Structure 1
Amino acid sequence: MVKLFIGNLPREATEQEIRSLFEQYGRVLECDIIKNYGFVHIEDKTAAEDAIRNLHHYKLHGICINVEASKNKSKASTKLHVGNISTSCTNLELRAKFEEYGPVLECDIVKDYAFVHMERAEDAVEAIRGLDNTEFQGRLFEGWMSGSCGTSAAKQYQASRCDDLCLT
């Protein structure tokens, strides 16, 4: 899996439109748009290279987009999806909250939800355990491991959540 960065996205660009554009070159596993940039996770390196070669400086809605390999700080990060974020919450405030559990590599708020990439899977599990259904800026956090992370930590967390719900 290769993560691509798409910069200079026009406002009217949709997730489905970006997904369709990149699917010409290979299987798209995930597509996220954050304001005027986004990320596409494409299945293999050859497809990613083809997409970069053909879509870098591609005109979308009259605007030239930039496509390049994402400069991930760590390939072993664990992606969390956090829902029910206050509209007044900033990236810095959310990052600080999650950094109470460990290093945060990336934090992106999209409307009332966010994606938080933590450096270590075990820290991500602890963050979700500690923050899920807790109040932050007047709202209850709804957090879970992103389905695309595919880590054993995600499975570990899901199993522990099930254990918490099961009666013995």
Structure 2
Amino acid sequence: MVKIFVGNLPREADKDEIQALFAKFGEVTECAIIKNFAFVHMDDRKSATKAIRSLHLHKLHGTAINVEASRGKNQGAVKLHVANVEKGYDNALRELFEEYGTVSECAIVKNFAFVHMDNSDEAMDAIKGLDNSEFLGKIFRENIEFRKLI
């Protein structure tokens, strides 16, 4: 389950409307509106990522809404070191990791990459899901390194 923050909601927006908007991208398990923002819970990360990309700055009743992955109190940014990848596939690597969460930066240097994820839980999901998996015909491994937020 993935929790999504929806900010800058117009007063006219209601729960059913928000739920229907996000349901176009996958199963919505919960939706709650609090004043001018909402939290939407989606069943899987891939659907949530598509919804976030498609609906961020979407006009609802003439107002551009802010849609992003919800950030919990204890979650921080994480830098992943990914070994055994070739230069020139930055976008493909980014898309692979975005199936697990929000990627703020992705850069391949020589035969390794650094993937910055905004959320430690999402980074752990990526490590579990991708460790020793195949990417462009090669097996790659991740080593997680936590960085402090300033």
Greater helix share, structure number = 1
TM-score, with structure 1 as normaliser = 0.44
Q: TM (normalized to structure 2)?
A: 0.49
Question: Which structure: greater strand fraction?
Answer: 2
Q: Greater relative contact order (Cα 8 A, min sep 6): structure 1 or 2?
A: 2
